[in-house]
Structure 1
Amino acid sequence: MMHMPGNPNPSRNQPINLNHYATKKSVAESMLDVALFMSNAMRLKTVLEQGPSSQYYATLITLISISLLLQVVIGILLVVIARLNLNEVEMQWKLNQLNNAATILVFITVVVNIFITAFGAHKTGFLAARTSRNPL
């Protein structure tokens, strides 16, 4: 690769704007949080439709509710983090603490969702409806 005189991409040599970086990161995390929230809402609907007769009904309702609550808290934290300015030195410690809290809550949410998946490992939704109505 040859280097031409002059810099063809002057933005490469400029320092990264930490505030923009943190905001983009928070937006990406928020999108993932929304996707997981929707997935858990569908799981909750499925469990409620199956009714209390299903084997792990109470366990799944509890775990899904905990996960949904954690996701709301994480979402609020991410909005707060995105609104604060990382370029202000006096805000960096607070932002770091909020980011650590969000990371811990995301980890707990992942663990809870692993248990949700483990306890809900049976046919649900479209596949169960199709096989019960029209067995092939």
Structure 2
Amino acid sequence: MTCCEAEAMSSGTGVMPIRQVQDNGTSRFGTLTRKTIAEGLFDVALLMSNASQLNAILAAGSGAKFYSIILGFLITSIVLQLIVGGVLLAIATLEIKQDSGRKLHSTLNTVAVGLIGFITAVNIFITAFGVNVTNSAIGNNTL
């Protein structure tokens, strides 16, 4: 009988307690690193998507439906993504050993989350208005 089984039997519940796992920090670091890399790839994919949509709407010209609205949303989204990238870079390089560093870190993190939420909303509107460009509008270029 293991110590955990003995503890479960003595408690009368028959439920074994969860084992405490020693964490040397490597598993958390690995998880955070993978999460950061995945988020970075999603950010790059969104930036590339917005750049492609910008190219399509500019190729379609001012005669396209909702041209100025979509153009404004795309430029806003791209600029905000670049700002968020700068904020995240500042967060990554910030020393948080002192209280002032923790406060700044928390503030920048809140700003980044707010901007990401706004970028998401802008991209929902971009999708709602749509960037529909036919081959004739871009000179029948094929890949």
Aligned equivalent of 2:107: 97
Aligned equivalent of 1:6: none
Does the 8 Å contact 1:22/1:82 carry over to 2? no
Residues 68-103 of structure 1 show CA distances to partners (whole Å, capped at 9, x for unaligned) of 0000000111111111244x1422221111111000
Does the 8 Å contact 1:74/1:106 carry over to 2? yes
Change in CA separation of 1:22 and 1:37 when aligned onto 2, cut-off 3 Å: same
Which one of 17, 22, 39 corresponds to residue 13 of structure 1?
22
CA RMSD of aligned residues (A): 3.1
Does the 8 Å contact 2:56/2:131 carry over to 1? no
**How many Å apart are 1:121 and its aligned residue?**
5.6
Aligned equivalent of 1:52: 62
Identity rate, percent: 31
**Segment drifting more, 24-33 vs 113-122:** 24-33
Aligned equivalent of 1:106: 116
| TM-score of the pair, normalised by structure 1 | 0.71
Distance 2:77 2:105 in 1: 24
**How many Å apart are 1:120 and its aligned residue?**
1.1
Aligned equivalent of 1:42: 52
* Greater RCO (CA < 8 Å, at least 6 residues apart): 1
* 1:72 partnered with 2:82: yes
Structure 1 residue ranges without an equivalent (≥5):
4-11
**How many Å apart are 1:14 and its aligned residue?**
2.9
Aligned equivalent of 1:129: 135
Rg larger in 1 or in 2?
2
Distance 2:38 2:87 in 1: 14
Matched residue type, 2:23? Q
| TM-score of the pair, normalised by structure 2 | 0.68
Q: Which runs of 4+ in 1 moved over 4 A?
A: 19-23
Distance 2:130 2:31 in 1: 35
SS of the equivalent of 2:104 reads helix
Across the two proteins, how many residue pairs are aligned to each other?
A: 117
